[in-house]
Amino acid sequence: MKTTLPACVKSVAVAVAAVGLLAGCATSGNPKDPIEGFNRAVFAFNEGLDSAIVKPVARGYDAVLPSPVKTGVTNFFSNIEDLFIGVNNLLQGKVPEAFSDLGRVAINSTVGILGLIDFASDAGLEKHDEDFGQTFGRWGVGNGAYVVIPVFGPRTARDTVGLVLDIAVDPVANHNPDRVRDAALVLRLVNDRANLLSADKVVEEAALDKYSYMRDAYLQRRRNLIHDGNPPREIEADAGSSDDRPQMAEAGVVEPRAGLADSAASTPAILAARTQPPETK
């Protein structure tokens, strides 16, 4: 049966090219968000899609299913993610963390009944959060322009390229037959959105400008993740430079602590990074 995944990957790749073209004629004046007008329009589209479809379905899912079932679903998908989290830790040279991730997969896939129960955390194996965008950042690749992608939510140009690879190796997105894959993608999206329902009120109360709040929080969190929770001091980056390349100076500004950092709190993003790694039990 023919799979539709390549079209999905190509659509994200087209978005990367669009970012480059749009950034070339940008006039916003914000070096981190040179295509702000375009991004705000896509952000509004994603908000509308979330409000009309994704969020109501997530609320129903949250209300109907008992907590142990929802925890099992979260654990199942989290266990699948651990495989390529381990690969990315290895690519970043973090060998002990990589072996820990693969150990989590081994334990939870067997004793944990295909990942439904998270015995690995009880055994002291920490849950990590890595992806190809972070790996590129650790390798010194700059952010590029900030961009909001339809459905997938906020990214940088670098993280959009990483997203293409994340999709290409995602066992869920590549599963056959197609009907099982599609059902699994929908279940993961709805479960992820349900896990973030409690964050909605916090975002609404904290943000005078929700778009700016989500953008700044996303960029802060990505930088925090790349530096494993210990980002160095930096001064404001010049246009076109990377805020992931620390510029040490006496006048450097310490980055504020990241708040709610992801689009997933307000945007339907099947493969978007979460605000935090899901709590597993």
In the Cβ-directed half-sphere of 260, how many Cα atoms lie within 13 Å?
22
User: What percent of the chain has a predicted confidence (pLDDT) above 90?
Assistant: 66
Farthest-apart Cα atoms in the chain, separation: 60
Mean pLDDT for 117-146 is 96
Tokens of 224: 């925090």
Residue 138 has pLDDT above 50, yes or no: yes
pLDDT in tens, 153-200: 999 999 999 999 999 999 999 999 999 999 999 999 999 999 999 999
Q: Which one, of 135, 140, 162, lies nearest residue 228 by Cα? A: 135
Q: Which residues contact 183 (CB under 8 A, 6 or more apart)?
A: none
What mean pLDDT is predicted for residues 108-118?
A: 97
- Say which residue, 10 or 150, is predicted with more confidence: 150
Q: What is the pLDDT of residue 62?
A: 97
More confident of the two residues 30 and 29: 30
Q: pLDDT (tens digit, 9 = 90+) per residue, 163-174?
A: 999 999 999 999
Tell me the mean pLDDT in the region 10-27: 52
3-state secondary structure of 147: strand
Give the pLDDT score at 13: 52
**Considering only CA atoms, which of 73, 247, 229, 221 is closest in space to residue 146?**
221
Element of type H or E holding 110 = helix 95-110
166, 155 Cβ separation under 8 angstroms:
no
What is the rounded CA–CA span in Å between residue 170 and residue 166?
6
Mean pLDDT of 90-119: 97
Share of the chain above pLDDT 70, in %: 73
Do residues 86 and 109 touch, judged by C-beta distance below 8 A?
Answer: no
pLDDT at 15 over 90: no
Please report, for residues 20, 46, 80, 168, the alpha-carbon distance to residue 26 in angstroms, rounded to integers and kept in the order given.
10, 22, 39, 30
- Does position 114 have pLDDT exceeding 80, yes or no? yes
Q: Which helix (H) or strand (E) holds 43?
A: helix 36-49
Tokens coding 108: 């939870």
3-state SS assignment for residue 120: helix
Q: What's the rounded Cα separation, in Å, for the pair 53 and 273?
A: 20
Residue 276 has pLDDT above 50, yes or no: no
Would you state the pLDDT for residue 187?
98
Distances (CA, A) of 188 to 20, 70, 75, 191: 31, 11, 11, 5
Please check whether residue 193 is in contact with residue 187, taking contact to mean a CB–CB distance below 8 angstroms.
no
Q: How far apart (Å, rounded) are the C-alpha atoms in residues 253 and 266?
A: 29
Confidence bin at 105 (pLDDT 50/70/90): very high
State yes or no: pLDDT of 281 exceeds 70: no
Average model confidence (pLDDT) across the chain = 81
Q: Whole-model pTM?
A: 0.77
Lowest mean pLDDT among 22-26, 53-57, 249-253, 263-267: 249-253
Tens digit of pLDDT for each residue in 204-259?
A: 888 789 999 999 999 999 999 999 988 887 655 443 444 444 333 333 333 333 33
* CB within 8 Å of 250: residues ≥ 6 apart: none
Q: Where are the beta strands (DSSP E) in the chain?
A: 146-149, 153-156
Say yes or no to pLDDT of 32 above 50. Answer: yes
Q: What is the mean pLDDT of residues 120-130?
A: 96
Say how far apart CA 250 and CA 160 lie, in whole Å: 33
